[in-house]
């Protein structure tokens, strides 16, 4: 059964308290929180004050995804704001091993994300150090994009690498996840489904989360 992580980016920001309560009352396992800086990705989302407020009322795991440059400058602040997981991008970390160690030393689960153009093989020498690999199935920066089909091949490759080395690493998939393709994604080897518009723009978000869990 997949871990379901609704993405707050697609929520109604005028009623965030209600949206957090909705997630609390659902079968969701994690709440995915996308932080964008307008530099690494062409968009700006939300930051520490929002995560601090949300983490205070959400009873689910706070899964923070940093789409920002120089994430090491902010790791401690995100821990204080309530992050349980902190994922950084392979593409921006010059010293990725150091970044991962910093996150772990702060007491969070450490993740590394890869963009659609980054090959899975690039993680060969860091895979044993991380708790989560987040595979971007769209180009990062905006919600509502269509799933890139080649991502399924990348998930399969990553699952093979993890299994061959007997590692305990979650494969998380972010971007274009729908009720129509979720089973394909988990069948390929994914553990965690990040779903934004699919959940928050649906007529019944709680039922949609339950449907994703049951696939």
Contacts of 4 (CB under 8 A, 6+ apart): 27, 28, 29, 30, 192, 193, 195, 209, 212, 213
Residue 138: in which H helix or E strand, if any?
Answer: none
Question: Which of the 8 DSSP states describes residue 60?
Answer: S
- Separation of alpha carbons 162 and 184, rounded Å: 19
Pick the catalytic residue: 29, 34, 131, 191?
Answer: 34
Annotation says 191 is catalytic: no
Pick the catalytic residue: 37, 131, 174, 191?
Answer: 174
- Separation of alpha carbons 185 and 78, rounded Å: 29
Contact criterion met (CB below 8 Å) for 131 and 170: yes
Annotation says 34 is catalytic: yes
> Mind telling me the catalytic residues?
34, 174
């Amino acid at each position: 059964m997949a871990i379901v992580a609704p993405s707050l980016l697609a929520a109604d920001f005028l009623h965030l308290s209600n949206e957090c309560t909705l997630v609390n009352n659902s079968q969701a396992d994690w709440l995915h929180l996308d932080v964008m800086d307008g530099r690494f990705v062409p968009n700006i989302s939300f930051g520490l004050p929002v995560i601090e407020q949300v983490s205070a009322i959400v009873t689910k795991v706070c899964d923070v995804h940093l789409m920002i440059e120089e994430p090491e400058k902010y790791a401690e602040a995100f821990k204080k704001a309530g992050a349980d997981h902190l994922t950084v991008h392979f593409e921006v970390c010059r010293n990725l091993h150091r970044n991962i160690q910093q996150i772990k030393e702060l007491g969070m689960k450490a993740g590394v994300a890869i963009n659609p153009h980054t090959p899975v093989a690039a993680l060969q020498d860091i895979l044993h150090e991380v708790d989560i690999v987040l595979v971007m199935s769209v180009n990062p920066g905006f919600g509502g994009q269509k799933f890139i089909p080649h991502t399924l091949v990348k998930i399969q490759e990553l699952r093979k690498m993890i299994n061959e080395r007997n590692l305990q690493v979650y494969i998380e998939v972010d971007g274009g996840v729908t009720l129509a393709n979720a089973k394909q994604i988990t069948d390929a080897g994914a553990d965690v489904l990040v779903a934004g518009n699919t959940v928050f723009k649906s007529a019944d978000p709680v039922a949609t989360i339950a449907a994703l869990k049951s696939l």
